[in-house]
Copies of this chain bind each other. A is one copy, B any other.
Amino acid sequence: MALSDSFMLATQELAPELGPAAAALALLGHEPGMPIERLRRALGLSHSGTVRLVDRLVAGGVIERHSSEQDRRAVALHLTKSGEEKCAAILAVRQQRISCALKVLDPHELEALGKIAEKLLKNQVHNLDEAYCVCRLCDPAACVNCPVAAALNESETAQKL
C-alpha cells in the first residue's frame, strides 16, 4: 500500500505538466472539433479559464475556432498544422519518459502492470467526462484496446448513457 502511494507520486513526477495546454492539444488531436465545454470538463477548469486558454492557444497559432455544424452557439476547436506538430512532440516526449521509467521492468512485470492498470481504470471511469479526463494525454495511436472506451461501452449498454 505504502509502496503504491509512492509509485503514484513517482508517476506524477514523470509527467511534468506545464499547465493544461499540453493536455488540451492532446485532447484536440484525439478528437478534432471538440467544443470548449467538453474541453473544460476534461481539464477541470472554470469556463472563463478554458476560454482564455483557448484564446492563448489560438493566439499561439496552434488551434483554431471553427463554427460547429450541429450547434451554432458551440465552437469547434481544431489543431492547426503547427498544433499537430506540437501535439506529436508532446506525445513523443511523454512516450519517451514513460518507456524510460518502465525499462527496468522485465516483460512479465510489464504484462502484470498492464493488467492491473486496465482493472484500475475500468473501475475508475463512470461517465464521459471522467473518460476524457483520463484520456487527457493519451496517445490514441499507442492506446490499442483503450480500456476507457471499453468501460464506457459497457455502461452505455447497461444504463443508456
Contacts and interface: CB of A to CB of B under 8 A. Distances in A.
- Number of identical monomers bound together in the oligomeric complex: 2
Interface stretch (A51-59, A82-90, A136-144): A136-144
Contact of A12 (B3, B12, B117): B12
Interface residues of A, number: 51
Interface string A111-148: 01111111111011000000001111111001111111
Contacts of A11: 7-8, 11-12
A113 B114 contact: no
Q: Which secondary structure dominates where chain A touches chain B?
A: helix
B102 A120 contact: yes
A13 B101 CA distance: 20
A157 interface: no
